Amino acid sequence: MTHINQVAAQLGLTARQVQAVADLLREGSTEVFIARYRKEATGSLDEVVVRKVRDGLEALADMDKRRAAMLASLEERELLSDALRTALEGARSLAELEDVYLPHRPKRRTRAMMAAEKGLEPLADLLMEQRAADPVVAASSFVDPHKGVETAEQALAGARDILAERISEDAGARAAMRALFTTKARLRSRPARGAAKIDPSVAAKFRDWNDWEEPAATAPGHRILALFRGEREAVLSVEVRPDEALAAAELERRFVRGGGACAQQVRLAVQDGYRRLLAPSMETELRANLKTRADAEAIGVFSANLRELLLSPPLGRKRIMALDPGFRTGAKLACLDEQGGLLHHETVFVVGSERQAAESARRIRELVERFAVQAVAVGNGTAGRETEAFVRSLGLQGVFVVLVNESGASVYSGSDIAREEFPDLDLTVRGAVSIGRRLMDPLAELVKIDPKAIGVGQYQHDVDQAALKRALDDTVVSCVNAVGVELNTASAALLSFVSGLGPALARNIVAWRDENGPFGSRRDLLRVKRLGPKAFEQAAGFLRIRDADNPLDASGIHPERYGLVEGMARDMGVGVRELMRDARIRAGIDPYRYLSEEAGLPTLTDILAELDRPGRDPRPIFEHFAFAEGMHRPEDLSPGMVLPGIVTNVTRFGAFVDVGVHQDGLVHVSQMADRFVRDPAEVVRTGQHVRVRVLEVDLERRRISLSLKGMVHGG
């Protein structure tokens, strides 16, 4: 209950809500299932809060493991007193826990240890009392050449070493210094020693930070990560400390009493303890905290961008011709049916000689007619704009051409998933298939690729990789289950992200489907190998069966509530199918009549909304987009031009926009709008269609500066 209460206080929840989430997680429920189908238990907590509860409880459990390891170590070394046990068990943060343990932690021999071995601890105690009239006289009695103490000054130096370590390990002093570093530290960067010998192209990336200083507490995460990266690459020297005078004043207030000679010895110990021990320790801790904060910010940006990309509007079930462009090797062409199945593939040379172009035009027209192609998807990589222009010039009636972001397609092409789907196809053909499927259903195709390969991150290689993976996995799971998955057509890759399934059960579902044909009902899932009642409970509501005998199988209503819906239909004197079809009948339902302990108003409201639009896709409607004609390279741009573009990445410092020239431009946060913008995500999202004004084109540095000021944004 201590953990429950702590997490509740941190998140502003009731202990009952946190306890409910903890119980459901312990029983094997997923976060998306809890948020969607257990609203009465949690008080309608959404996925984000449920995950925060999960993470908070896990962090406290990890802290308990650390505490247990400390207690075991102290007991083994016979250092565990009742007071120390009480202090460790009473610690409420990891920093507090480590501070209590620090004086007793096994460590290498220190200067203080060596001084203690020389018998100088009584002298240190005497100095700390600050009563002796003359510390030199007091130290004289500790001179012992056999112990390596030749003079009184050496004795005093050893005693100061002991005091310096005590001061640096004092829990109160550490807490005070932690607060000072947290609120007053300055983040400073200068060129590192030897930076002149670094590759100029690497050094140029950090040129803006050669003489930088700002408060660490308010430094944006992207700048923290940039400075730390510059330090790792030996280009920058970075320091994160407050003014030393502030620290010295605080420590002297705690440990120095009066102005006598002994007090001066303690003052020297304070200064040494701060510079040699306490400041480096606090700086290390602050750096770790800054990195954690910056990581969280960057991971949050990455997750938000990924969500927008995964929830991009799908074209839907259309016959697609996909082209993976190329100059020298030609464009790989693939024709797909409405389910994304490969019908035909070959290579065409649309940007070759006149003869090759003419032959390619003939073949494309022939294949469009032969396979009843409704749309052409062109990858936006090398030769993408040229290929798009060529296909548009053919004037294919009733066929629209779309330039598709192919980031990560090559990763998919060489993956185990691609080899399993198309074992006999060349990598380049697999890439073309992936491009076509992305147009049809971005979510279903992008889940096959490691999110880090999609290109919507910010400093993704600098952040904690385990935390990044977990956040991105959470995002993918959230998106897949928000949209719902068609049980009879989904790939194993897509099914693996459905609540309660995973890769093994997903493969078993596909194997059952291949052997027995389409699923006739959700209940058929229980016939799948190793798919038991718990997995069924967690997954069923997120799976859809189009044209099932029971119309509720195509909706987001969970099978555990079918009886409730059937009761509503009986009370209205109709069948379930008619209830779902007729809004006037549904309008007569009084939800309060069906309230129960298991199905409260939140669940009933969801059920009625789902009956109104069963299995609805939450993604936006697909809108056709085209780049400006004649703009294929950065050299084609000039300041003042207004162009259509697509937002490809949103960061804390701005947004990157593709205007069709194979080099994304940056809209700096200061150019986002005609008002002050703190976060670019307030204005734009990944995948959004926008109109931008070109501010500057730096061909040497491959940089394009854009502005959204005064522009009207699209969908």
Q: Which residue has the higher pLDDT, 435 or 352?
A: 435
Residues 514 and 477 reside in one and the same domain: yes
pLDDT band per the 50, 70, 90 thresholds, residue 714? low
Query: Is the model's pLDDT at 196 over the cut of 80?
Result: no
pLDDT of residue 494: 95
Whether 327 and 296 map to the same domain: the answer is: no
Q: Is 379 helix (H, G, I), strand (E, B) or coil?
A: strand
What single DSSP character describes residue 627? Answer: P
402 and 356 belong to one structural domain:
yes
Distance CA 263, CA 276 (A): 20
Other C-beta atoms lying within 10 Å of the C-beta of residue 670: 12
The pLDDT confidence band at residue 363, using thresholds 50, 70 and 90, is very high
Per-position b or e across 176-196, b if 16+ CB within 10 A of its CB: bbbebbbeebebbbebbeebe
How far apart CA 565 and CA 583 sit, in angstroms, is 15
Domain at 374, CATH number: 3.30.420.140
Does residue 627 carry a pLDDT above 90? no
CATH for 16: 1.10.10.650
Q: Residue 332 is encoded by which pair of tokens? A: 């790989």
Cα 594 to its chain centre, rounded Å, is 40
Closest CA to 177 of 238, 97, 249: 249
183 falls within a domain: yes
Write down the mean pLDDT value for the chain.
Answer: 92
The domain that holds 651 is classified in CATH as 2.40.50.140
What CATH number is attached to the domain comprising 497? 1.10.150.310
CB of 667 closer than 8 Å to CB of 682 = no
Please state the rounded mean pLDDT for residues 635-647: 91
DSSP 144: B
Name the 3-class secondary structure at 219: coil
Band (258; pLDDT cuts 50, 70, 90): confident
- Three-state secondary structure call for residue 332: strand
Which residue has 């610690």 as its token pair? 91
Q: How far apart are CA 632 and CA 635, in angstroms?
A: 8
pLDDT in tens, 66-97: 999 999 999 999 999 999 999 999 988 888 89
677: left (phi over 0), alpha (psi -120 to 50) or beta: beta
Q: Of 56-60, 206-210, 687-691, where does mean pLDDT reach its minimum?
A: 206-210
**Statement to judge: residues 688 and 561 lie in one domain:** no
For residue 225, give the 3-state DSSP assignment: helix
Going across the sheet that includes 375-379, the strands are 342-348, 331-336, 320-324, 375-379, 400-404
Q: Residue 705, Cβ neighbours under 10 Å: how many?
A: 18
284 and 142 part of one domain: yes
Q: Are 423 and 357 within one domain? A: yes
Counting the structural domains of the chain, the total is 5
Asked if 238 contacts 228 with a C-beta cutoff of 8 angstroms, the reply is yes
42 and 140 fall within a common domain: no
Same domain, 593 and 645: no
| Domain harbouring 130, CATH code | 1.10.3500.10
Considering only CA atoms, which of 440, 450, 444 is closest in space to residue 416? 450
pLDDT at 712: 62
CA angle (577, 579, 585) in 5-degree steps: 155
| Structure confidence by residue, pLDDT tens digits, 417-445 | 889 889 998 888 999 999 999 999 999 99
Query: Distance (Å, rounded) from C-alpha 427 to C-alpha 415?
Result: 9
Residue 462 located in a structural domain: no
624: phi then psi, degrees, rounded to nearest 5 = -70, 145
Residue 112 is predicted with a pLDDT of 95
Name the domain boundary from 273, 301, 329: 301
Q: Residue 195 belongs to what domain range?
A: 111-301
Once rounded to an integer, what is the mean pLDDT over residues 565-594? 93
Structural domain ending residue among the three candidates 89, 104, 119: 104
Identify the band that residue 242 occupies on the pLDDT scale cut at 50, 70 and 90: very high
What integer is the mean pLDDT of 205-210? 85
**Can you tell me whether residue 324 is helix, strand or coil?**
strand
DSSP strand E in 393-538: where? 400-404, 485-486
Q: Helices in 131-278 by DSSP H: which ranges?
A: 135-140, 152-169, 171-184, 200-204, 221-232, 244-255, 261-272
pLDDT over threshold 70, residue 715:
no
pLDDT value, residue 408: 82
Contact yes or no for 425/330 (Cβ under 8 A): no
Sign of torsion, CA 598 603 605 607?
A: negative
Has residue 56 been placed in a domain?
yes
The answer to whether residue 524 scores a pLDDT higher than 70 is yes
Element (H, E) at 577: helix 576-581
Are 99 and 117 within one domain? no
Q: Within this chain, do residues 542 and 651 fall inside the same structural domain, yes or no?
A: no
- My answer on whether 525 and 657 are in the same domain is no
Q: What is the mean pLDDT of residues 510-518?
A: 95
For the segment 528-569, what is each residue's pLDDT rounded down to a tens digit?
999 999 999 999 999 999 889 999 999 999 999 999 999 999
The answer to whether residue 628 sits within a structural domain is no
- Residue keyed to tokens 């490969």: 342
pLDDT band at 713 (very low <50, low <70, confident <90, very high): low
Examine the fold and report which residue of 104, 131, 150 is the final residue of a domain before the chain moves on. 104
Q: What is the mean pLDDT of residues 30-43?
A: 95
* Residue 535 and residue 527 in contact, taking contact as beta carbons nearer than 8 Å: no
* Nearest by Cα to 182 from 216, 213, 219, 221: 216
Residue 98 CA to chain centroid, in angstroms? Answer: 28
pLDDT tier for residue 28 given thresholds of 50, 70 and 90: very high
Mean of pLDDT values over 234-256: 94
Contacts of 354 (CB under 8 A, 6+ apart): none
In a domain, 512, yes or no: yes
Average pLDDT in the 479-488 region? 95
Shared domain for 139 and 217, answered yes or no, is yes
